[in-house]
Chains A and B, each alone.
Chain A
Amino acid sequence: MSSFKIFDIAASGMAAESLRLNTVASNLANANAISSSKDGVYRARQVVFEEVRGALNGPDAGAAVKVREVIEAQADALARYEPGNPLADTSGYVYSPNINSIEQMVDMISSSRSYQNNIEVVNTSRDLMLATLRLGQ
Protein backbone atom coordinates (compact mmCIF):
# COMPACT_ATOMS: atom_id res chain seq x y z
CA MET A 1 0.00 0.00 0.00
CA SER A 2 1.30 3.37 -0.95
CA SER A 3 1.05 5.01 2.49
CA PHE A 4 3.60 2.57 3.88
CA LYS A 5 6.14 3.15 1.12
CA ILE A 6 8.02 5.58 3.30
CA PHE A 7 8.86 2.75 5.71
CA ASP A 8 10.33 0.68 2.88
CA ILE A 9 12.41 3.65 1.80
CA ALA A 10 13.79 4.26 5.29
CA ALA A 11 14.34 0.53 5.82
CA SER A 12 16.39 0.26 2.63
CA GLY A 13 18.50 3.20 3.81
CA MET A 14 19.03 1.57 7.18
CA ALA A 15 20.00 -1.76 5.61
CA ALA A 16 22.54 -0.05 3.36
CA GLU A 17 24.01 2.00 6.21
CA SER A 18 24.27 -1.01 8.51
CA LEU A 19 26.25 -2.86 5.86
CA ARG A 20 28.54 0.16 5.66
CA LEU A 21 28.94 0.07 9.45
CA ASN A 22 29.80 -3.64 9.24
CA THR A 23 32.48 -2.92 6.67
CA VAL A 24 33.99 -0.23 8.86
CA ALA A 25 33.98 -2.62 11.81
CA SER A 26 35.71 -5.25 9.69
CA ASN A 27 38.31 -2.73 8.51
CA LEU A 28 39.05 -1.51 12.04
CA ALA A 29 39.21 -5.05 13.43
CA ASN A 30 41.70 -6.06 10.76
CA ALA A 31 43.76 -2.87 10.85
CA ASN A 32 46.57 -4.62 12.73
CA ALA A 33 46.30 -8.07 11.19
CA ILE A 34 49.79 -8.67 9.82
CA SER A 35 50.69 -11.19 7.19
CA SER A 36 53.90 -12.77 5.94
CA SER A 37 53.21 -11.99 2.28
CA LYS A 38 52.16 -8.91 0.40
CA ASP A 39 49.19 -10.63 -1.24
CA GLY A 40 47.92 -12.31 1.90
CA VAL A 41 47.28 -9.04 3.66
CA TYR A 42 43.75 -7.77 4.43
CA ARG A 43 42.52 -5.01 2.15
CA ALA A 44 40.19 -2.26 3.34
CA ARG A 45 36.67 -2.67 2.03
CA GLN A 46 34.28 0.04 1.08
CA VAL A 47 30.64 -0.13 0.04
CA VAL A 48 29.27 1.74 -2.97
CA PHE A 49 25.61 2.74 -2.86
CA GLU A 50 23.25 2.90 -5.78
CA GLU A 51 19.83 4.44 -6.15
CA VAL A 52 17.00 2.02 -6.82
CA ARG A 53 15.16 3.63 -9.68
CA GLY A 54 11.57 2.53 -9.74
CA ALA A 55 8.56 4.41 -10.92
CA LEU A 56 7.72 6.92 -8.19
CA ASN A 57 4.07 6.06 -8.56
CA GLY A 58 4.40 2.38 -9.35
CA PRO A 59 3.52 -0.39 -6.95
CA ASP A 60 7.14 -1.59 -6.93
CA ALA A 61 8.68 1.74 -5.93
CA GLY A 62 9.67 0.21 -2.57
CA ALA A 63 13.35 0.52 -1.80
CA ALA A 64 15.26 3.72 -2.48
CA VAL A 65 18.86 2.66 -2.09
CA LYS A 66 20.90 -0.51 -2.23
CA VAL A 67 24.52 -1.53 -2.00
CA ARG A 68 25.87 -1.89 -5.52
CA GLU A 69 29.19 -3.47 -4.62
CA VAL A 70 31.82 -3.78 -1.96
CA ILE A 71 35.15 -2.63 -3.36
CA GLU A 72 38.58 -3.46 -1.99
CA ALA A 73 41.14 -0.72 -1.58
CA GLN A 74 44.04 -0.90 -4.02
CA ALA A 75 46.59 0.66 -1.65
CA ASP A 76 49.79 -1.39 -1.27
CA ALA A 77 50.37 -3.20 1.99
CA LEU A 78 52.80 -1.56 4.38
CA ALA A 79 56.06 -3.48 4.86
CA ARG A 80 57.70 -3.44 8.28
CA TYR A 81 61.13 -4.84 9.10
CA GLU A 82 60.59 -7.17 12.07
CA PRO A 83 62.98 -10.08 11.79
CA GLY A 84 62.00 -11.38 15.25
CA ASN A 85 58.34 -11.75 14.30
CA PRO A 86 57.32 -15.40 13.74
CA LEU A 87 55.33 -14.25 10.68
CA ALA A 88 58.31 -12.49 9.05
CA ASP A 89 59.26 -13.63 5.54
CA THR A 90 62.76 -14.77 4.55
CA SER A 91 64.07 -11.19 4.35
CA GLY A 92 62.58 -10.29 7.76
CA TYR A 93 59.56 -8.27 6.65
CA VAL A 94 55.98 -8.47 7.84
CA TYR A 95 53.12 -6.80 5.96
CA SER A 96 50.23 -4.90 7.49
CA PRO A 97 47.09 -3.55 5.78
CA ASN A 98 47.13 0.04 4.57
CA ILE A 99 44.12 1.14 6.65
CA ASN A 100 43.75 4.66 7.98
CA SER A 101 41.89 4.26 11.29
CA ILE A 102 40.90 7.93 11.39
CA GLU A 103 39.29 7.71 7.96
CA GLN A 104 37.42 4.65 9.11
CA MET A 105 36.20 6.38 12.28
CA VAL A 106 34.95 9.35 10.24
CA ASP A 107 33.16 6.95 7.91
CA MET A 108 31.62 5.28 10.94
CA ILE A 109 30.29 8.56 12.34
CA SER A 110 28.89 9.59 8.95
CA SER A 111 27.24 6.20 8.58
CA SER A 112 25.67 6.22 12.04
CA ARG A 113 24.32 9.74 11.45
CA SER A 114 22.68 8.60 8.22
CA TYR A 115 21.23 5.62 10.05
CA GLN A 116 19.80 7.94 12.70
CA ASN A 117 18.27 10.11 9.98
CA ASN A 118 16.41 7.10 8.62
CA ILE A 119 15.21 6.14 12.10
CA GLU A 120 13.94 9.69 12.58
CA VAL A 121 12.00 9.39 9.31
CA VAL A 122 10.39 6.16 10.55
CA ASN A 123 9.51 7.63 13.95
CA THR A 124 8.00 10.82 12.53
CA SER A 125 6.01 8.95 9.88
CA ARG A 126 4.73 6.52 12.47
CA ASP A 127 3.52 9.36 14.70
CA LEU A 128 1.81 11.04 11.75
CA MET A 129 0.10 7.82 10.71
CA LEU A 130 -1.13 7.16 14.23
CA ALA A 131 -2.51 10.71 14.30
CA THR A 132 -4.23 10.01 10.98
CA LEU A 133 -5.80 6.88 12.44
CA ARG A 134 -7.23 8.94 15.28
CA LEU A 135 -8.86 11.31 12.78
CA GLY A 136 -12.32 12.39 13.89
CA GLN A 137 -12.07 10.93 17.38
Chain B
Amino acid sequence: MFDLDAHFRLHAESLKLSSRRSELIARNLANAETPNYKARDLDFRKALATALGEGGGAVGMTATSAGHLGGSQSMNLDNLLIDRTPLIESLDGNTVDVQAEQAAFAETSIRYQASLNFVNSQLRGLMTAITGQ
Protein backbone atom coordinates (compact mmCIF):
# COMPACT_ATOMS: atom_id res chain seq x y z
CA MET B 1 0.00 0.00 0.00
CA PHE B 2 1.10 3.56 -0.66
CA ASP B 3 2.71 4.90 2.53
CA LEU B 4 1.44 8.46 3.07
CA ASP B 5 3.56 8.86 6.18
CA ALA B 6 6.77 8.09 4.35
CA HIS B 7 5.66 10.26 1.45
CA PHE B 8 5.41 13.39 3.61
CA ARG B 9 7.96 12.49 6.25
CA LEU B 10 11.06 14.26 4.96
CA HIS B 11 9.44 17.66 4.57
CA ALA B 12 7.28 17.31 7.66
CA GLU B 13 10.40 16.68 9.78
CA SER B 14 12.24 19.45 7.99
CA LEU B 15 9.40 21.88 8.79
CA LYS B 16 9.43 20.85 12.45
CA LEU B 17 13.19 21.23 12.74
CA SER B 18 13.20 24.55 10.87
CA SER B 19 10.69 25.98 13.31
CA ARG B 20 12.77 24.71 16.25
CA ARG B 21 15.87 26.26 14.75
CA SER B 22 14.14 29.61 14.24
CA GLU B 23 13.12 29.48 17.90
CA LEU B 24 16.75 29.04 18.89
CA ILE B 25 17.81 31.94 16.68
CA ALA B 26 15.03 34.14 18.06
CA ARG B 27 16.38 33.27 21.50
CA ASN B 28 19.86 34.35 20.46
CA LEU B 29 18.55 37.61 19.05
CA ALA B 30 16.53 38.34 22.20
CA ASN B 31 19.68 37.77 24.25
CA ALA B 32 21.92 39.90 22.03
CA GLU B 33 22.78 42.15 24.99
CA THR B 34 22.79 39.63 27.81
CA PRO B 35 26.14 39.34 29.61
CA ASN B 36 27.69 35.85 29.45
CA TYR B 37 24.99 34.51 27.14
CA LYS B 38 26.29 31.82 24.79
CA ALA B 39 24.63 31.71 21.38
CA ARG B 40 23.38 28.26 20.36
CA ASP B 41 22.30 26.76 17.11
CA LEU B 42 20.90 23.48 15.89
CA ASP B 43 23.04 21.03 13.94
CA PHE B 44 20.39 20.75 11.24
CA ARG B 45 21.96 17.96 9.21
CA LYS B 46 22.44 15.75 12.25
CA ALA B 47 19.00 16.60 13.62
CA LEU B 48 17.28 15.73 10.35
CA ALA B 49 19.26 12.50 10.08
CA THR B 50 18.23 11.58 13.64
CA ALA B 51 14.62 12.47 12.94
CA LEU B 52 14.56 10.31 9.80
CA GLY B 53 16.70 7.57 11.28
CA GLU B 54 15.62 4.35 12.88
CA GLY B 55 12.36 4.92 14.73
CA GLY B 56 12.51 8.51 13.53
CA GLY B 57 14.16 9.47 16.81
CA ALA B 58 10.66 9.92 18.09
CA VAL B 59 9.25 7.67 20.74
CA GLY B 60 5.83 6.36 19.88
CA MET B 61 3.17 6.13 22.54
CA THR B 62 2.19 2.72 23.84
CA ALA B 63 -1.13 1.64 22.49
CA THR B 64 -2.99 -0.52 25.00
CA SER B 65 -6.12 -0.77 22.92
CA ALA B 66 -6.69 -1.30 19.25
CA GLY B 67 -8.52 2.04 19.10
CA HIS B 68 -5.51 4.08 20.31
CA LEU B 69 -3.69 6.31 17.92
CA GLY B 70 0.10 6.11 17.90
CA GLY B 71 1.07 9.73 18.55
CA SER B 72 4.70 10.71 18.66
CA GLN B 73 6.67 12.68 21.19
CA SER B 74 8.87 15.51 20.12
CA MET B 75 12.52 14.63 19.76
CA ASN B 76 15.01 15.71 22.38
CA LEU B 77 17.25 18.26 20.70
CA ASP B 78 19.47 19.08 23.66
CA ASN B 79 22.40 16.99 22.45
CA LEU B 80 22.10 18.30 18.90
CA LEU B 81 22.79 21.88 19.92
CA ILE B 82 26.05 23.51 18.97
CA ASP B 83 27.66 26.60 20.44
CA ARG B 84 28.41 29.43 18.07
CA THR B 85 32.02 30.52 17.80
CA PRO B 86 32.07 34.30 17.66
CA LEU B 87 34.36 36.09 15.22
CA ILE B 88 35.17 38.70 17.81
CA GLU B 89 35.23 38.04 21.54
CA SER B 90 33.08 40.50 23.41
CA LEU B 91 34.11 41.82 26.83
CA ASP B 92 30.93 40.74 28.61
CA GLY B 93 31.23 37.11 27.49
CA ASN B 94 28.29 37.31 25.10
CA THR B 95 28.80 35.31 21.89
CA VAL B 96 25.83 36.57 19.87
CA ASP B 97 26.78 37.99 16.49
CA VAL B 98 23.60 39.83 15.51
CA GLN B 99 24.40 39.93 11.78
CA ALA B 100 25.15 36.19 11.69
CA GLU B 101 21.92 35.47 13.57
CA GLN B 102 19.91 37.63 11.17
CA ALA B 103 21.41 35.75 8.23
CA ALA B 104 20.69 32.40 9.88
CA PHE B 105 17.12 33.47 10.61
CA ALA B 106 16.57 34.48 6.98
CA GLU B 107 18.05 31.15 5.86
CA THR B 108 15.79 29.12 8.14
CA SER B 109 12.68 30.96 7.04
CA ILE B 110 13.54 30.35 3.39
CA ARG B 111 14.12 26.66 4.14
CA TYR B 112 10.81 26.52 5.96
CA GLN B 113 9.07 28.11 2.99
CA ALA B 114 10.82 25.71 0.61
CA SER B 115 9.62 22.72 2.61
CA LEU B 116 6.10 24.16 2.63
CA ASN B 117 6.24 24.47 -1.15
CA PHE B 118 7.40 20.87 -1.47
CA VAL B 119 4.59 19.61 0.74
CA ASN B 120 2.11 21.67 -1.25
CA SER B 121 3.33 20.18 -4.53
CA GLN B 122 3.15 16.68 -3.07
CA LEU B 123 -0.42 17.36 -1.99
CA ARG B 124 -1.29 18.69 -5.42
CA GLY B 125 0.27 15.63 -7.02
CA LEU B 126 -1.81 13.36 -4.83
CA MET B 127 -4.96 15.34 -5.59
CA THR B 128 -4.28 14.98 -9.31
CA ALA B 129 -3.86 11.23 -8.84
CA ILE B 130 -7.03 10.97 -6.76
CA THR B 131 -9.29 13.06 -8.97
CA GLY B 132 -7.67 11.73 -12.12
CA GLN B 133 -7.95 14.99 -14.00
Chain A contacts to B: CB under 8 angstroms: 2-3, 5-6, 9-10, 12-13, 16-17, 20, 48-51, 56-57, 64-65, 110-111, 113-114, 117-118, 120-121, 124-125, 128, 131-132, 135-136
Contacts and interface: CB of A to CB of B under 8 A. Distances in A.
B33 A121 contact: no
B113 A117 contact: no
B112 to A, nearest CB: 5
Q: What 8 A-B pairs come out closest when comparing CB atoms?
A: A13-B30, A49-B34, A64-B30, A64-B27, A9-B26, A136-B123, A65-B30, A121-B26
Contacts, number: 90
Classify the interface of chain B: helix, strand, loop or mixed.
Answer: helix
A122 B52 CA distance: 29
B100 interface: no
Contacts of B102: 117, 120
B72 interface: no
Contacts of A114: 29, 32-33, 98
Interface stretch (B43-51, B53-61, B73-81): B73-81
B120 interface: yes
Contact of A128 (B74, B81, B112, B123): B112
Interface string B102-125: 100100010011001001100100
A48 B37 CA distance: 12
Interface of B: 15, 19, 22-27, 29-35, 37, 74, 76-78, 81, 98, 102, 105, 109, 112-113, 116, 119-120, 123
A49 B35 contact: yes
A53 to B, nearest CB: 10
Contacts of A64: 26-27, 30-31
B26 A132 contact: no
A124 B74 CA distance: 24
B116 A16 contact: no
B109 A128 contact: yes
B30 A16 contact: yes
A124 B119 contact: no
Contact of B23 (A6, A49, A50): A6
Given A57-B74, A57-B78, A6 B32 contact: no
Given A2-B74, A10-B26, A125-B22, A135 B116 contact: yes
